[in-house]
């Protein structure tokens, strides 16, 4: 049986009872509530528990793993190399774990997460099938009241001094409101909530909507399995060959002999990935030299392509050279020139998140694959039998929505969070997210976000970004305890300055020139705000500097001063 896909933004609600529950004393008093049991929430638990805090992680899924629990579509794997897309907090773990491929598959990543949970005994403080519905700050006590709903169980209330939102940048699925979506009589799937039992497409006519990373990974495999695959493309995407393969024992040995060096190199790159970047602009090379450089990186595969020139996302000449190179490659691979042209992006490369693939463009040479361009005439309707475009019905047995996520803010705003004066986060962020360092938002004391908007997050290898945030937050909560501080809260002025800085940095790039999910442009009605911060090294420096200056830009309040504390929210 196919998993149901609702026709609106995925609510993933387990129960609506929590909001209506009568006010009773909390069932648990905790130091910290952590929301989400992906890479971020699990490491947060490990750090805080090690410091002696009482912590509980609430996760709405039936298992841990976050992204790697939900996204089980064919071909799902990381596109940052496994040796980098892994925790670095434990040198023993880093040495012991053996990745089998250059880019690990979803099952292997989930096995790794399970291993980490067992190795560090994390499961006993993770409560599954539990959604955090509301979080309300009590100004008198300086604590958060948190309401939970449980699948098939009664609602629960807990109280905590701190709440950490580890809810994921890409965890709320985007299901466009295609007219008639619920009428489709075949099997319907969203890549972001794939059935655990897998799907057998053998002999079936399959349609897939979307050509982002999830589609780019799954299309070649679905095409091999199905009798026919129809791809509905609104915008073509740039994709670089992944050149995946088994990891060579010698290579692994070399990395493990000095893992710190790899981590250190990566930490100095804007994207937080060891891209072997050159300190050279495209203009310093002739067109022939540029081609040679791109060719070399194309052959190696992976995101290293972006390391060819230091100005690739800031300068038109550099970017156009890279664009042109990839378009030529697409035309070389795809036999039908019309299809090749449809698959060739015309936008800035890197403006939408770059994809890595294994045989993506080659797939369009297959006889059983059809590409339907929906850029000019959008999908009219989903009928009982298939997808209607331009008056023509494409009959399907299965429909796959690879339509992405309400990124960066979706999971944060799904929780009804009330800060000072009862003001909600939804109200505060009505015109787009505002935070200080992506970690806190003024008016919401003791509420921390891991990889929140205005932090590097999705523009980086997420693992080091997650660890950097977790470490910062854990150290901060430890500092508050040691100095008997009841609350910490972003100062509004510091927040405004930080948001202005994030926008200024983005304004100096070419990343504002397309309709990306970084800008919220994939979700109709979402405010158009560039959400991540570009630049891992300066960001880390800023976070460290803030601490060195006594949590500059934050207001710290002692318990005895709680009632009289002026609100920093302005
Ligand atoms: P998540 O893994 O998203 O976990 C958040 C968890 O919070 C989820 O399990 C969710 O169910 C839970 N949750 C949310 N709201 C609530 C609530 N109200 N109550 C209870 N629980 C809640 N990044 C990279 O750097 N490299 C990659 O190669 C890469 N590949 C990716 C591939 C896919 C298919 C996707 C979708 C993303 C990929 N990412 C990649 C980004 C990826 O999301 C991060 O790397 C990382 O896994 C995020 O971990 P997290 O713990 O922050 O969030
Ligand atoms: P995505 O990049 O947002 O792609 C969604 C696709 O659906 C786009 O092609 C989009 O077209 C299309 N779409 C959305 N609404 C549509 C509509 N109404 N009609 C027609 N088409 C529509 O989502 P994703 O592929 O799931 O990837 C999201 C992010 O997750 C990635 O960018 C990446 O960060 C991460 N990820 C990583 C990997 C990996 O390789 N490790 C794999 C999957 C995901 P438009 O472009 O026109 O909006």
For the stretch 389-431, pLDDT in tens is 999 999 999 999 999 999 999 999 999 999 999 999 999 999 9
Strand locations in 218-299 (E): 228-233, 239-241
For residue 118, count CB atoms less than 10 angstroms from its CB and return exposed for 0-12, middle for 13-18, buried for 19 or more: exposed
462 Cα: distance to centroid of ligand 1 (angstroms): 9
338 Cα: distance to centroid of ligand 1 (angstroms): 37
Judged against a pLDDT cut of 60, whether residue 24 lies above it is answered with yes
- How large is the average pLDDT for residues 128-141? 97
Judged against a pLDDT cut of 60, whether residue 11 lies above it is answered with no
Q: Please give the pLDDT value at position 3.
A: 35
Query: Residue 27 — pLDDT band, cuts 50, 70, 90?
Result: confident
Q: Please give the pLDDT value at position 12.
A: 37
Q: What residues line ligand 2, using a CB cutoff of 6 Å? A: 78-79, 170, 176, 191, 209-215, 217, 234-235, 353, 356, 374, 379, 402-405, 458, 517, 522
Lowest-confidence segment of 5-9, 183-187, 385-389, 501-505 by average pLDDT: 5-9
Q: Are 481 and 104 in contact (CB under 8 A)?
A: no
- Indicate which atom in ligand 2 lies nearest the CA of residue 176: 18
- Indicate which atom in ligand 2 lies nearest the CA of residue 191: 26
Q: Are 166 and 122 in contact (CB under 8 A)?
A: no
Helix pair angle (259-267, 536-548), 10° resolution: 90
Helix pair angle (249-257, 259-267), 10° resolution: 80
- Indicate which atom in ligand 2 lies nearest the CA of residue 77: 41
H-helix or E-strand spanning residue 554: strand 554-558
Max Cα distance, the chain (Å): 74
503 Cα: distance to centroid of ligand 1 (angstroms): 25
- Indicate which atom in ligand 2 lies nearest the CA of residue 356: 40
Q: Please give the pLDDT value at position 430.
A: 98
- Indicate which atom in ligand 1 lies nearest the CA of residue 58: 20
- Indicate which atom in ligand 2 lies nearest the CA of residue 352: 32
108 Cα: distance to centroid of ligand 1 (angstroms): 16
Judged against a pLDDT cut of 50, whether residue 14 lies above it is answered with no
Least distant ligand from the CA of 272: 1
Q: Among 401, 403, 456, 526, say which to mutate for ligand 2: greatest number of ligand atoms within 8 Å of CB.
A: 403
Q: Among 19, 38, 146, 155, say which to mutate for ligand 1: greatest number of ligand atoms within 8 Å of CB.
A: 38
- How large is the average pLDDT for residues 85-103? 98
130 Cα: distance to centroid of ligand 1 (angstroms): 16
- Indicate which atom in ligand 1 lies nearest the CA of residue 451: 52
Query: Residue 148 — pLDDT band, cuts 50, 70, 90?
Result: very high
**Alpha carbons 156 and 42: distance in angstroms, whole number:** 21
Q: Are 306 and 354 in contact (CB under 8 A)?
A: yes
Q: Please give the pLDDT value at position 153.
A: 85
- Separation in Å, CA 326 to CA 320, 329, 382: 10, 5, 33
Judged against a pLDDT cut of 60, whether residue 1 lies above it is answered with no
Judged against a pLDDT cut of 60, whether residue 111 lies above it is answered with yes
**Alpha carbons 416 and 18: distance in angstroms, whole number:** 11
- Indicate which atom in ligand 2 lies nearest the CA of residue 215: 25
Task: State percent of the chain over pLDDT 90.
Answer: 92
Backbone angles phi, psi at 188, to 5 degrees: -130, 130
Q: Among 67, 101, 401, 466, say which to mutate for ligand 1: greatest number of ligand atoms within 8 Å of CB.
A: 67
- Separation in Å, CA 47 to CA 40, 50, 89, 372, 471: 11, 5, 10, 49, 8
Close Cβ partners of 147 (under 8 Å, ≥ 6 residues apart)? 18, 19, 21, 132, 133, 134, 135, 155, 156, 157
Q: Please give the pLDDT value at position 13.
A: 35
**Alpha carbons 327 and 341: distance in angstroms, whole number:** 8
Judged against a pLDDT cut of 50, whether residue 243 lies above it is answered with yes
Q: How far is CA 184 from the centre of its chain?
A: 29
> What domains can you pick out in the chain, each with its CATH number?
9-172+407-561 (3.50.50.60), 181-401 (no CATH)
Judged against a pLDDT cut of 50, whether residue 53 lies above it is answered with yes
Query: Residue 368 — pLDDT band, cuts 50, 70, 90?
Result: very high
Query: Residue 134 — pLDDT band, cuts 50, 70, 90?
Result: very high
Judged against a pLDDT cut of 80, whether residue 569 lies above it is answered with no
pLDDT tens digit string along 207-235?
999 999 999 999 999 999 999 999 999 99
513 Cα: distance to centroid of ligand 2 (angstroms): 17
382 Cα: distance to centroid of ligand 1 (angstroms): 29
- How large is the average pLDDT for residues 300-310? 97
- Separation in Å, CA 419 to CA 132, 147, 423, 489: 16, 15, 5, 11
pLDDT tens digit string along 474-488?
999 999 999 999 999
Q: Are 480 and 473 in contact (CB under 8 A)?
A: no
Q: Please give the pLDDT value at position 562.
A: 84
Q: Please give the pLDDT value at position 566.
A: 59
Least distant ligand from the CA of 273: 1
Least distant ligand from the CA of 377: 2
Query: Residue 564 — pLDDT band, cuts 50, 70, 90?
Result: low
Least distant ligand from the CA of 169: 1
Q: Are 125 and 56 in contact (CB under 8 A)?
A: yes
203 Cα: distance to centroid of ligand 1 (angstroms): 33
Mean pLDDT of all residues in the chain?
94
pLDDT tens digit string along 181-207?
999 999 999 999 999 999 999 999 999
Least distant ligand from the CA of 357: 2
Judged against a pLDDT cut of 60, whether residue 491 lies above it is answered with yes
| Alpha-helical runs (H) found in 59-155 | 67-70, 91-96, 106-119
- Indicate which atom in ligand 1 lies nearest the CA of residue 42: 51
- Separation in Å, CA 398 to CA 200, 219, 342: 10, 13, 24
Least distant ligand from the CA of 135: 1
Q: Are 374 and 234 in contact (CB under 8 A)?
A: yes
451 Cα: distance to centroid of ligand 1 (angstroms): 10
Least distant ligand from the CA of 209: 2
Q: Whose alpha carbon is nearest atom 20 of ligand 2?
A: 234
Close Cβ partners of 333 (under 8 Å, ≥ 6 residues apart)? 340, 361, 362, 365
**Alpha carbons 427 and 425: distance in angstroms, whole number:** 5
- How large is the average pLDDT for residues 544-556? 98
Q: Please give the pLDDT value at position 559.
A: 86
Judged against a pLDDT cut of 60, whether residue 7 lies above it is answered with no
């Amino acid at each position: 049986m196919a998993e149901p896909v609702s026709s609106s933004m995925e609510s993933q609600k387990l129960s609506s009872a929590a909001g209506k529950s009568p006010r009773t004393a909390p069932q648990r008093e905790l130091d910290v509530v952590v929301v989400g049991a992906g890479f971020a929430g699990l490491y947060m638990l490990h750090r805080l528990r090690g410091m002696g805090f009482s912590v509980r992680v609430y996760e709405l899924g039936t298992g841990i793993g976050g992204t790697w629990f939900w996204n089980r579509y064919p071909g799902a794997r990381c596109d940052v190399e496994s040796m980098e897309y892994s925790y670095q907090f434990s040198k023993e773990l880093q040495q012991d774990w053996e990745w089998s491929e250059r880019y690990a598959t979803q099952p292997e990543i989930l096995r790794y997460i399970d291993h980490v949970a067992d190795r560090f005994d994390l499961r006993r403080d993770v409560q599954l099938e539990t959604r955090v519905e509301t979080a309300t700050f009590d100004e008198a006590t300086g604590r958060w009241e948190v309401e939970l709903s449980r699948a098939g169980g009664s609602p629960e209330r807990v109280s905590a001094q701190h709440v950490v939102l580890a809810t994921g940048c890409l965890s709320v699925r985007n299901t466009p409101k295609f007219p008639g979506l619920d009428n489709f009589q075949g099997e319907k799937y969203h890549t972001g909530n794939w059935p655990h039992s897998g799907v057998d497409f053998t002999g079936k006519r399959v349609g897939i909507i979307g050509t982002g990373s999830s589609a780019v990974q799954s299309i070649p495999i679905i095409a091999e399995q199905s009798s026919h695959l129809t791809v509905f493309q609104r915008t073509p995407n740039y994709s670089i060959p992944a050149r995946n393969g088994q990891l060579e024992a010698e290579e692994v040995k070399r990395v493990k002999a000095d893992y710190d060096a790899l981590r250190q190199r990566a930490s100095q790159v804007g994207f937080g990935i060891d891209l072997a970047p050159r300190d050279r602009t495209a203009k310093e090379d002739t067109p022939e030299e540029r081609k040679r450089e791109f060719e070399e990186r194309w052959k190696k595969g992976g995101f290293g392509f972006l390391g060819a020139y230091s100005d690739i996302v800031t300068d038109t000449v550099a970017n156009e050279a890279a664009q042109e190179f990839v378009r030529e490659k697409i035309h070389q691979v795809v036999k039908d020139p019309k299809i090749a042209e449809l698959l060739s992006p015309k936008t800035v490369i890197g403006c939408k998140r770059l994809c890595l693939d294994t045989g993506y463009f080659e797939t369009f040479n297959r006889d059983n694959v059809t590409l339907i361009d929906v850029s000019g005439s959008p999908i009219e309707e989903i009928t009982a039998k298939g997808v209607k475009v331009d008056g023509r019905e494409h009959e399907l047995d299965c429909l796959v929505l690879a339509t992405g996520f309400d990124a960066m803010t979706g999971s944060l705003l799904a929780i009804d969070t009330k800060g000072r004066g009862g003001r909600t986060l939804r109200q505060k962020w009505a015109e787009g997210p505002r935070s200080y360092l992506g970690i806190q938002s003024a008016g919401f004391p003791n509420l921390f976000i891991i990889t929140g908007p205005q932090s590097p997050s999705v523009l980086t290898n997420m693992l080091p970004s997650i660890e950097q945030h977790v470490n910062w937050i854990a150290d901060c909560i430890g500092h508050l305890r040691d100095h008997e501080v009841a609350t910490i809260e972003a100062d509004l002025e510091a927040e405004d300055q930080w948001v202005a800085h994030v926008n200024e940095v983005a304004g100096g790039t070419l990343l504002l020139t397309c309709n990306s999910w970084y800008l919220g442009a994939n979700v109709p009605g979402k405010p158009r705000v560039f959400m991540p911060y570009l630049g891992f090294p300066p960001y880390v420096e800023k976070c460290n500097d803030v601490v060195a200056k006594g949590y500059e830009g934050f207001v710290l309040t002692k318990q005895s001063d709680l009632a009289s504390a002026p609100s920093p929210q302005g």
